[in-house]
Amino acid sequence: MKIIKRNGAEEQFDPEKIRIAVEKANCAVDEKYRMTALQIERITRNVEISCEDLGRSPAVEEIQDLVEKAIMSHGAFEVAKQYITYRYTRSLARQTNTTDDRILSLIECNNEEVKQENANKNPTVNAVQRDYMAGEISKDITRRILLPQDVVQAHEAGIIHFHDSDYFAQHMHNCDLVNLEDMLQNGTVISGTLIEKPHSFSTACNIATQIIAQVASNQYGGQSISLTHLAPFVQVSREKIRKTVEKEMEIFGIQAGEEQISQVVEARLREEVARGVQTIQYQVVTLMTTNGQAPFITVFMYLNEARNEQEKKDLAMIIEETLRQRYEGVKNEAGVWITPAFPKLIYVLEEDNVREGTPYWYLTRMAAQCTAKRMVPDFISEKKMLELKVDKNGEGHCYTCMGCRSFLTPYVDPETNQPKYYGRFNQGVVTINLVDVALSSERDVTKFWKIFDERLELCHKALMCRHERLKGTLSDAAPILWQYGALARLPKGEPIDKLLYGGYSTISLGYAGLYECVKYMTGRSHTDAEAKPFALAVMQHMNDACKGWKAQHNIDFSLYGTPLESTTYKFSKCLQNRFGIIPGITDKSYITNSYHVHVTEEIDAFTKLAFEAEFQQLSPGGAISYVEVPNMQQNIDAVLELMQFIYDNIMYAELNTKSDYCQVCGFDGEIEIQDDDGKLVWVCPQCGNTDQSKMNVARRTCGYIGTQYWNQGRTQEIKDRVLHL
């Protein structure tokens, strides 16, 4: 069994250290209060068993808490007092250098917590280390200076989670819906250089990747662009290529008819579209932004977003090429085709493509083949979104999320009375731990709602800290965002304040662990008909809170189904520390994402999607549902059936499959997770390889695909997933 030291490094569990520490405390008290050697041995063994029961690597602080409780359970209160005093003295001595220790452990690559914090960041790389080092400083300043102590204490106790505190010291926001159309059509400025409207599709793609990189370096969340904004440049290239072909014909004295010329033009145009799409695919996966990772970018594919039939056909050509290239994948360092993490793709299901015989059915079939092999695209139902995203004029809208799942609320520009989505953003997220609310209530329903309101008010306070941190930010802080079109075109020196109010941007109340919350309070899963009303009441209560805050501040608070990549593990550990191991509630190293059905619950794909659709509707600030499926590459018709079900029943969903490769033996299948002395490790089933640097593993963890590795909580969650099909 391993333990996690205070600096994040991993070490073998040694019960002898517990025995020695208790003996020292024992010897420091008067002889009449001392314990016997047998009692000390029992305490040591009890703590060891408790650590093993956790099913994960305990932190040093957790072990010391267990020691305190074990000493007191033996009635040795004077010894316990001495042990607590020693801990406190050592804690004071450490306060001056805790941040230093964590930074040094980062540099030496032995900080296990950081290694597993983000599934798309490699902490051995200098650029990533630099970002993490800055993050440690930011977190330290945030804890000591920038946040109220009750918010800090609640965050550290896992009662709430104040997301991205490693960026909070700077005036940065969460995620964006980039106005690529404005930047390409009207020009932009990158690093002080004027970038004018491109004169070809391939140039537009190249500029788009530069914009993506610049945006990613000036915020900390995900971003999205639409392929529709690139579609007009297909016609620009078509006209340019036609002139070239006609000139070539003239030079060579060739008399060609219109049909022949058009065939040559379209053939060359497709080659350019292929080059442009390849530029986006390869640039995105090879770019490294200032935070040491590829941009968290989502690419939106929505045919009905085109403004005319020709543009729609050109957009279809881009989508076709995007799906084709993504199906192929990218080559790893060994030259083997693998599944890349980015860009994330979203394909909109609509009347023109959702059924056989519709004009763009061929694209939908390609999307089904691609998702069966590469886990993308994910799917948005135009039908359901138009029903759910209705603006004040009564009009429904279909648009992409910002990054993996964060959705803007409907907004009508007061100056034009027209809907606006591109160029908007999210200010930040604070998540409430619903499991902690339930456990704190001790199943007293009246007490539950009282505690719930107290915790929501704490989240409100924390969210206003996020808002106030952005308030007063000058447009000069991120020119690409605020001055040159990605989000706005404000003058230099102007604060961004007007973009923070009136619904232009959103700010998100996240939530986690609805399943465990309901299970504890009712004794049943929220999929049970008797427990579901309570689950829906919890969701509605959070929506009502957001509505009240919005009225109070004129800020668009919105309920958000938190992805919980690393926070799921943190919340689980905190719950175990506060409440112990409760079967079915805190006995895992993770808690359930948002409203999702628990990963171990046996349920078929169609039932799961239909059930979660009702909860997704109550997460207007963002949510995504998934179904876990086996290898579906030989059963595309079943994938298409699922996609058609999504179109009719749920706004946003994805299929999770496996896409792994062992570089040692060439195994192309599912890399397994096995227990190794209390630690979950990835193992090739063919050759037994456990070297993570010599395997490619791709798993969906938070809406994005992760391609590095995950903390023990998330790894257990992945291991526990059951198939829904």
Give catalytic status of residue 602 as yes or no. no
Give catalytic status of residue 459 as yes or no. no
Burial 17-28 (b: 16+ CB within 10 A, else e): ebbebbbebbee
Give catalytic status of residue 351 as yes or no. no
Give catalytic status of residue 703 as yes or no. yes
Give catalytic status of residue 494 as yes or no. no
Give catalytic status of residue 395 as yes or no. no
Q: What are phi and psi of 593, to 5 degrees?
A: -60, 130
Burial 35-66 (b: 16+ CB within 10 A, else e): beeebbeebbebbbebbeebbbbbbeebbbbb
Find tokens 């206003």 and name the residue.
464
Q: What are phi and psi of 256, to 5 degrees?
A: -125, 145
- Alpha-carbon span 620 to 544, nearest angstrom: 12
Residues 385, 404, 542, 546: which is the catalytic one?
404
Give catalytic status of residue 554 as yes or no. no
Element (H, E) at 323: helix 309-328
Residues 402, 464, 574, 651: which is the catalytic one?
402
Of 638, 643, 657, 646, the residue nearest 609 (C-alpha)? 646
- Alpha-carbon span 589 to 59, nearest angstrom: 13
Helices (H) and strands (E) in the chain, counts: 24, 25
Residues 26, 50, 111, 174: which is the catalytic one?
174
Contact assessment for residue 400 and residue 224, using Cβ atoms and an 8 Å cutoff: yes
Query: Who contacts 478 (Cβ-Cβ below 8 Å, separation ≥6)?
Result: 172, 218, 219
DSSP string covering 75-117: T-HHHHHHHHHHHHHHHHHHTTTHHHHHHHHHHTT--HHHHTT
Give catalytic status of residue 404 as yes or no. yes
Give catalytic status of residue 135 as yes or no. no
Residues 111, 237, 291, 426: which is the catalytic one?
426
Residues 35, 51, 172, 175: which is the catalytic one?
175
Residues 132, 399, 560, 595: which is the catalytic one?
560
Q: What are phi and psi of 167, to 5 degrees?
A: -120, 0
Q: What Cα–Cα distance (Å) separates residue 174 from each residue in 183, 257, 481, 570?
A: 20, 54, 12, 21
Residues in the chain: 725
Q: What Cα–Cα distance (Å) separates residue 167 from each residue in 79, 133, 357?
A: 42, 11, 50
Q: Which residues pair with 679 in a beta bridge?
A: 676
Going 527 to 530 to 533 to 538, the CA torsion angle's sign is negative
Q: Which two tokens stand for residue 390?
A: 């209705």
User: Hey, which residues are catalytic here?
Assistant: 174-175, 402, 404, 406, 426, 560, 565, 703
